[in-house]
Each structure stands twice: as structure tokens, then as C-alpha cells.
Amino acid sequence: MKSKAENLVFPKEFLCGLASSATQIEGGCQGHVWYRWSQENHIKDHSSSLRAGQHWQRVDQDLQLLSQLGVQTYRMGLEWARIQPSASSFDEQALVVYRTEILKLKALGIKPLLTLFHFNNPLWFEDSGGWMRADAATVWLGFVDFVVEGLGDLVSDWITINEPNVYLYKSFLDGEWPPGERSLLKYLRGGRQIIKAHRLAYNLIHRKRKEKLWDRDQATLVGVAHHLRIFDPLHKWNLVLRVLSAAVRYLIQDWFLYAMTGPKTKAAPRKWADFIGINYYTRDMMSMSFNASSLFTRQTVKKAALVNDLGWEIYPEGLYRLVKKQWKAFGLPIWITENGVCDRSDALRTSFIADHLAYLLAAIETGVKVERYYHWTLYDNFEWTEGEAAPFGLFALDFETQERTMRPSGQLYAQWARSKIWKGVGQQ
């Protein structure tokens, strides 16, 4: 069900935001696995994470872009390898850079939402076994502890892990990302560590902010940004495909959702989550395959479907379906922590956003508590193995000159973010 209204009027308290990640915009860091993966020529367009949007040197310029867009909140990431360059050392100076950025953000009236892990490991961690280590979760917790100690007075909202499922799938099942493995066993082993890491971080952030009385003015809110997609069987009435789709959905999505949210407790609606973060992009139509490392499934795109530049189906109704489902399952507030489209010409982006917002509003109107929407992303960035060739930005980025230019969709987004009203949907 989609909102039929011509103007989409969102509640006044709804927060409009923008999302990014450290590795994809900062550039300059050589101590992590994505730099090495670039050096080893795994990036399709031969670009490197070393360049990206040079955000590390251009913080002020980028804050101006955010302010131009009029958003109320910004989801940003920290580069673990910068803050902890070796197993036994932390870089106070790097933390100061992030602290300064957050202070400036707040001075602009923009609320930070901080991501602690977004697909990237320091080399020292990766080379000592990474998420396969039996103590991986507690090793990572050392980094979390240092960060919360240094930034916890400024930041109340946290995402511990971005898309545990995508990270593990790409790194340990289909092997496209470092360390390039194809092993279901490793996927499961990494999953156990990442689930544990989230639970420990959830407890640590709450405990520390409470002890230091930092949570007096701003309640602490911690969750995961889950990558959720729709898995539909390619042939609706094929029973085997339906079972297979359900099994893949469990292994790739629901396992993480349930394990990282936890059961209800007396003290809290859920043990390890204060909100459900949803990153939503597309739907997969499931068919059979005989390749074990792809879990015996092939993910295909519906015939004649509208697709983005990467060939992903644009399916706005999926957001409605997912939001309703998670609300029913967990009863926690929902934040759309990512939603966006790869679209160089900007021909699709405006209606992409309008349609997704229309479905979101329809869900809100049925009583679902959706509190925030973060668009992915501010400007074109280093899109993992796609390199610099997959533009998701409201601003176009010329990687050579580093010039940022607002796309027409960015102007409409700014109007929405300021007024909370998306105008003229019925006419599109």
C-alpha cells in the first residue's frame, strides 16, 4: 500500500538524514584491508580507497554540503584502522579529528549517529585471523571502549555493526571482498563473533554513558544497521523455491535480526537493541543453482523490472513490506539507516526517493513507528569493489578535481528535509 496523497506530509518530529561510511569517503589511510585489496587489483575500475572523497582533509566543506541539504541527522562512520593502528596502540589525534567533526556537526544543529564497524578491518587484526579469531569480539571491544570513552559525552546514538550479513556474505561466501573466502563454515563462525561483538558493545555503550551520567540529557540509543532485502521466489507457486527463499532469508537476514535484537526483558523492550536499523535497496527473485557457495540459489531480477545502474531492481513496495514485518516482529522504533540508488544521470533518483517515502509514510499511517530516514549518500564515493564507478550521491563527485556538484534530486531532498513535506508525488 502506497500513500496516495499528492504531498507527503511527514510528522514534525520525523528526522531526515544522510548516511555515509568512513572508508568510502575519507581516503588517505593505508592501514586497512580495503587499501590492500585495492593494491592487489581487486577493484573493477582499478581505483583505490586511498582517494575517495578526501573527506579527512575536507571535513568543513562536507559539513557545508550537509547544511545545504538541511538534514537534522547525519550517520557517519569511524575508521577503526586510523584509531587503532596496531593491536596495542590507539591514536588520540585521530580521535580528536572525529571529535572536532562531531562538535561542528552539533553546532550546525545536526544530530550524529555513529557507526563503529562498516566492512573494514585494520591489517593487524585481519592478519591475526580477523573475525575468525576466537577472541575477535573482545578484541574489537577494546576499540569500542576507547571510542566511547573519548566520544560518548557527545554522541547518544550508535550503530555497532553495519550490515553483518553483507560483510560476511561478500567476504566469506562469495569471496568478492577481503579476505576472499568461500566457506559456509567461516560465514557461520564470523557470524557468531559479530553477533557477540554487537551484544558486548551494546552493553558497554549503555553502561559507560550511564556511569558517567552522559545519558541524563540524551537517552542512549544503540542498534545495528541491518541490510534487508526482499527475497521472493521467481515462480510464486514453486514449493521448492519458496522453501529455499525462506531458508536463505533465515541464514542471511533473520538469524542476525533475531540474535542481535534479543528477547524482551523486564527492563527493556528488547535486550540488545533500542531501534531496528534497516538499509534497504532492492529485491532478489530466487531461483535454483547447483553452486554450494551460493547456497544453491541464484538471485535474479524480475523480468522488465526498473533497475538502477548496477542492475538492481527498484522495488519501493519492498520497504513497506519490510517495515511492517519488523514492527510486528519486534515492536521497536524503526530507522531507515540507508536507502539510495546508483544513478549517474540522476534520471531515477527523484522518483526513487519519492516512491520510497510514499511507502514509508503509508506504513507510518498504519501505526508503525518509523522515526528516521537516512539517504545513502551525500556524494559519490568509493563503492567497494565497484570503485569510483557507482554514483549514489545527492552530490556528484569529480574524483579528479574533488569538485562536488548538487544533483537536481539533491535540491528536492533539501526541500523535503527542511519542510518534512515531499511535494507533488502525484504528478510524477
Which residues lie near ligand BGC (CB under 6 A)? 21, 24, 162-163, 166, 227, 279, 338, 376, 383, 392
Query: Least separation, in Å, of the C-beta of 306 and ligand BGC?
Result: 17
Is 152 in contact with 208 (CB distance < 8 Å)? yes
Work out how close the CB of 178 gets to ligand BGC at its nearest, in angstroms, rounded to a whole number: 15
Provide the sign of the torsion angle of the four alpha carbons 99, 117, 337, 313, taken in this order: positive
Is the Cβ of residue 163 or residue 181 nearer to ligand BGC in the bound state? 163
User: Judged by CB, which is closer to ligand BGC: 26, or 383?
Assistant: 383
Q: Where do we find the cell 536463505?
A: 248
Q: How far is the CB of 75 from ligand BGC (least distance, A)?
A: 10
Read off φ and ψ for residue 102, nearest 5 degrees: -65, -40
Distance in Å, CB of 162 to ligand BGC, minimum:
5
CB of 227 to ligand BGC, least distance (A): 5
Which of 19, 412 has the CB closer to ligand BGC?
19
Closer Cβ to ligand BGC, 24 or 220, answer by number: 24
Beta strands, E only, 60-204: 73-77, 111-117, 157-162
For 203, counting Cβ atoms within 10 Å of its Cβ (0-12 exposed, 13-18 middle, 19+ buried), the class is middle
Query: Smallest distance from the beta carbon of 62 to ligand BGC, in angstroms?
Result: 16
Distance CA 213, CA 132 (A): 36
d(CA 198, CA 140): 10
Residue nearer to ligand BGC on the CB measure, 121 or 220: 121
To ligand BGC, the closest distance from the beta carbon of 275 in angstroms equals 17
Cα dihedral 362, 363, 364, 367 sign: positive
Residue 113, class by beta-carbon neighbours within 10 Å (0-12 exposed, 13-18 middle, 19+ buried)?
buried
The amino acid at residue 325 is K
CB nearer to ligand BGC: pick between 152 and 164: 164
Q: Which residue has the cell 582533509?
A: 57
Identify the three-state secondary structure at position 406: strand
* Omega of the bond leading into 179 within 30 degrees of 0 (cis): yes
Give 33 or 241: the residue with its C-beta nearer to ligand BGC.
Answer: 33
